[in-house]
């Protein structure tokens, strides 16, 4: 079985990586460390800087993942500044900004960066959906972000990600994909 180190403190990201990479017979070795995130709006640049830091810490091939949340009616806000938005205005603040707006289209975008000490490779994915009218659902061990309580993925626009059952989330992952899945397809063929 192949192995890859994933440096992050986000338990939801680790659980998701284990699911996607485990399906490709790749073992995820979590390394719990808070990486410094550069101040930029570019998720690829953030993932790059994080994977370079991660490699300096673990001294072996590793991955880092960054994502952004983009609300069409708010000109893409909060973009890659999700944590800042959640720390300052929270999910309720985001919902307040959307009061009276008909266009509720939004998306998550992800970038996985892989670095082996020599080459960096990038893997991208986007999940399109709609912003809910209100905060709904329960916390989950697989949850990456409180945004799951206000995001309805195109897989099921009747429920927020937090309202989906584990079975529904598993079914969604089979049809919607992930940057981790794209990475797994490539990595399983690397010598």
**Domain at 169, CATH number:** 3.90.950.10
Q: How far apart are CA 91 and CA 108, in angstroms?
A: 15
| pTM beyond cutoff 0.85 | yes
Task: List the catalytic residues.
Answer: 66
Question: Which residue would you say has higher pLDDT here, 131 or 175?
Answer: 131
The count of domains in the chain is: 1
Handedness of CA 81, 42, 156, 158 (dihedral sign): positive
User: Is the per-residue pLDDT at 170 higher than 90?
Assistant: no
Predicted confidence at residue 88, as pLDDT, reads: 97
Domain hosting residue 46, numbered range: 2-187
pLDDT at 11: 87
């Amino acid at each position: 079985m192949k192995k890859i180190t994933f440096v992050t403190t986000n338990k939801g990201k680790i659980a998701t990586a284990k699911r996607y990479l485990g399906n490709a017979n790749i073992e995820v070795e979590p390394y719990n460390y808070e990486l410094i995130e550069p101040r930029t709006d570019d998720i690829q640049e953030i993932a790059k800087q994080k994977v370079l830091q991660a490699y300096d810490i673990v001294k072996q091939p590793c991955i880092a993942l960054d994502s952004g949340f983009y609300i069409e009616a708010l000109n893409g806000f909060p973009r890659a500044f999700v944590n800042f938005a959640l720390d300052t205005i929270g999910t309720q603040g985001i919902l307040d900004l959307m009061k009276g707006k008909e266009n509720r289209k939004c998306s998550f975008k992800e970038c996985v960066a892989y670095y082996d000490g020599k080459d960096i490779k990038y893997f991208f994915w986007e999940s399109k959906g709609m912003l809910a009218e209100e905060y709904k659902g329960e916390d989950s061990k697989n949850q990456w972000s409180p945004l799951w309580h206000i995001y309805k993925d195109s897989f099921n626009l009747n429920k927020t990600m937090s309202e989906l059952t584990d079975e529904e989330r598993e079914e969604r992952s089979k049809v919607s994909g992930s940057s981790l899945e794209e990475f797994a397809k490539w990595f399983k063929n690397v010598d």
